[in-house]
């Protein structure tokens, strides 16, 4: 995460900071959200760089940034599903695999039909569409945001 090597004072005209691609550390969000609008994004290459977004509240609206930084809620034209091993939707608070559907979804992997078939599956919640199985563990939070919990497998991201 490149932002951890910067200081807000070095960029006085910066008004918004969006990070994605790596887990956002609590101390980084706490530091930056006092100076700019901080946005934490999530999204694998197979979808879009940011399939979900979480906006840190302005400092006057929070006592402390949460210890676990949410990855937010879906961006427009994107749907996120958290499923169990039987591809059934998980209720709020229960962990499962995060799946992505919507306009930003890739067609698959170039010259990798087996991997495409494994990861880009028929969407049981929207017949006639596909969704991407990210391999990421997550859970819905009561406020409609999602918490990233790690990986289903040992893939390094």
- pLDDT confidence band for 68 (50 / 70 / 90): confident
Q: In angstroms, what CA-CA distances link 67 with 21, 27, 138?
A: 19, 9, 16
- Looking at residue 26, what is its pLDDT? 85
Residue 34 has pLDDT above 90, yes or no: no
Residue 36 has pLDDT above 90, yes or no: yes
2-69, which class in CATH?
A: alpha beta
For the segment 81-97, the average pLDDT, to the nearest whole number, is 97
Q: What is the DSSP string of 121-135?
A: EE-TTSTT-EEEEEE
What mean pLDDT value characterizes the chain?
91
Distance between CA atoms of residues 49 and 21, nearest Å: 7
CB 63 within 8 A of CB 140: no
Residue 17: strand pairing partners: 38
Q: For 129-142, write each residue's pLDDT tens digit.
A: 999 999 999 999 99
φ, ψ for residue 89 (rounded to 5)?
A: -60, 135
Q: Which pTM was predicted?
A: 0.89
CATH of domain 74-151: 2.30.38.10
Strands (E), 8-55: 16-19, 37-42, 52-55
- pLDDT confidence band for 14 (50 / 70 / 90): very high
Domain range annotation of the chain: 2-69, 74-151
Distance between CA atoms of residues 118 and 96, nearest Å: 17
- The residue to which tokens 């706490």 are assigned: 30
């Amino acid at each position: 995460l490149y932002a951890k090597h910067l200081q807000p004072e070095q960029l006085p005209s910066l008004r918004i900071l969006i990070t994605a691609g790596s887990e956002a550390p609590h101390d980084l969000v706490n530091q930056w959200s006092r100076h700019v609008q901080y946005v934490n994004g999530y999204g694998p290459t197979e979808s879009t760089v940011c399939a979900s977004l979480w906006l840190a509240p302005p400092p006057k609206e929070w006592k402390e940034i949460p210890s676990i930084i949410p990855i937010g809620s879906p961006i427009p034209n994107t749907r996120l599903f958290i499923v169990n091993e039987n591809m059934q939707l998980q209720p709020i608070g229960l962990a499962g695999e995060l799946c992505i559907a919507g306009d930003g979804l890739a067609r698959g992997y170039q010259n990798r039909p087996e991997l495409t078939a494994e990861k880009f599956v028929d969407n049981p919640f929207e017949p006639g569409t596909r969704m991407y199985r990210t391999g990421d563990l997550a859970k819905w939070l009561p406020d409609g945001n999602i918490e990233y919990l790690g990986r289903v497998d040992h893939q390094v991201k």
